[in-house]
Chains A and B, each alone.
Chain A
Amino acid sequence: MKKSKIQNPKSKTKRILITGNEACGEGAIQAGCRFYAGYPITPQNELTAYMSKRMDEVDGIFIQAESELAAINMVFGASVTGARALTTSSSPGISLKQEGISYLAGCELPAVIVNIMRGGPGLGNIAPSQSDYFQATKGGGHGDYHSVVLGPASCQEMFDFTRMAFDIADRYRNTVIILGDGILGQMMEPVIINPRSQIRNPKKWALTGCKNRKPNIIRSLLLKQGALEEFNRKLQKKYDLIKRNEIRFEKYRTEDAEIIIVAYGTSSRISRACVNRLRKDKIKAGLFRPISLWPFPYNALKSQDKGKTKFLVVEMSMGQMLEDVRLAIQDDKRVHFYGRTGGSVPSEEEIIGKAVSCKL
């Protein structure tokens, strides 16, 4: 197999008004993803619909599977042959995919999984939420594994991060989860689509037919004494490498901040506006926004701590990323929390009120 260079036929930069769901789909197309399997669920339906149209245009494969379980296993099948494969869903559907994600991890297969989170538990509702953070960042399925998890906060990032996710997935033979929410999926914003050609390394491990070469074996069943422990240690080494290379975060006005809001995704957009309003009222506020939710930027966050700094974690959940912030800061008294859940979105006023009260 040779290195392949992929050129995009419609290689012209354009700025268009599209939904986050569509931006995500286009990011996958631009990354050279030519296999999509999914099952409809609100609030990510525009994504499935977009792929049904776009895959046809680029001679890719679009399958509306009979279930979420089938979709993730189709992605498994495509990935094992070396294809760039994508599945997308929303919270209840992502729960159904967990077995497949664990198997992908067990076989070290790259794949991109998009979760446009909605309120839970159970069927919950169809409004935006961030309550799948634990599931996404701590594994989700069975076994000692991690997916790389990226948290976009705009339609542009839905595009950029999805395109980047395929590179990360291939580089480490690992699953990558794009953790968005109902707002990011359904809102429209201007997005710059800037096609680029890409160099892709051959996947020597892929099952492509073993004529004239040694057969590749890909499986997650390791019964031989000690083999599974050995495999898990190898996985951990890979995760250590990912922790070294793939940590991403954004700081905003944190240099002299006495209170730092920690938030990702939609919550971080709202929190950023709160920082500006607090600054106008002479309150030294800043924002720390984890972009890679796994690996979590523990050290970068800790380095913002000047000893007396207060931290306010804002989430659309009852407090999940909060635990990672506590782990980073190691002083629970200074780590505060404000969350809305069940599909509710925090307002600027609520966050500002909480920030003022915990600064006292």
Chain B
Amino acid sequence: MNEQIICAGFGGQGIMLMGKFLAETGMKNGYNVTWLPSYGAEVRGGTAHSMVHISRERIASPVVSKPTTCIVMNKPSLVKFIDRIKKGGLLIVNTSMVNKVPEKKGIKIVKLPLTKLASELGNVKVANMIAVGAFIGLRKTLSLKDIQEALNRILPSKKDLISINKKAIELGYKLV
């Protein structure tokens, strides 16, 4: 397995955390992992993204130029990354923030109104975790159980947050 993921969206949508969850879970499953954030003048207002490698092999560069999976939470990110996705790759789009998703041959596109679903769950901030659930459901490289355990490790002191995040992950997992 050599999964190269880009998570992208507005600053504040939990883009960095989404990547960390995936990397942390990959690590606990015995994979080599790297996580690399994007920083710059673009952090506020524009797009932020994090890059994750999960691989059986030793990871050369943590920079992901051609992702196998792209999770985009807003429109500028979709425009920026859609053409970089590898053939046979996966694109998860937050349709709450993107009015029109262009057709693209050779990749699987999964459209979910993540922000809307999250506010229906009771916390708009868990849109990122629904996306993580969807990714797990589609790719099967990491298990639902493992990602939920990662939640306990990363948010140990926030019990109330853990439960809604768990719900969000399960929802994403079931939807796909």
Contacts and interface: CB of A to CB of B under 8 A. Distances in A.
Interface stretch (A88-96, A182-190, A288-296): A182-190
B109 interface: no
Contact of A272 (B33, B60, B62, B65): B60
A164 interface: no
Interface residues of A, number: 21
Interface in A250-296: 266, 269-270, 272-274
Contacts of B36: 183, 186-188
A347 interface: yes
B35 A270 contact: no
Interface of chain A, helix or strand or loop or mixed? mixed
Nearest to A127: B40
A327 interface: no
A350 B32 CA distance: 24
Nearest to A271: B60
Interface string B32-49: 111111011000000000
Interface stretch (B19-27, B81-89, B93-101, B114-122): B19-27
Nearest to A128: B63
Interface size class of B (residues with CB under 8 A): 10 to 19
A236 to B, nearest CB: 39
Contacts of A345: 61, 63
A245 B86 CA distance: 48
Contacts of A235: none
Contacts of B61: 183, 266, 269-270, 273, 345, 347-348
B34 A348 contact: no
Contacts of A127: 40
7 contacts: A17-B33, A183-B62, A186-B36, A189-B33, A272-B58, A273-B60, A345-B61
A17 B65 contact: no
A189 B32 CA distance: 8
Nearest to B27: A190
* Chain A to chain B: the 9 pairs with minimum beta-carbon distance, closest first: A273-B60, A188-B35, A187-B62, A187-B36, A270-B61, A190-B27, A269-B60, A270-B60, A17-B24
Nearest to B66: A347
Contacts of A272: 58, 60
Contact of A126 (B35, B40, B58, B62): B40
A274 B58 CA distance: 12
Contacts of B40: 126-127
B63 A183 contact: yes
Contacts of A17: 20, 23-24, 27, 33, 35
A266 B63 CA distance: 10
Interface string B129-156: 0000000000000000000000000000
A342 interface: no
A42 interface: yes
Contacts of B34: 187-189
A43 interface: yes
A128 to B, nearest CB: 9
A269 B61 CA distance: 6
A188 B58 CA distance: 14
Interface string A1-40: 0000000000000010100000000000000000000000
Contacts of A186: 36-37, 39
Nearest to B40: A126
Nearest to B52: A188
Interface string A93-137: 000000000000000000000000000000000110000000000
Nearest to B65: A347
Given A188-B20, A189-B33, A190-B33, A42 B39 contact: yes
Interface in B58-81: 58-63, 65
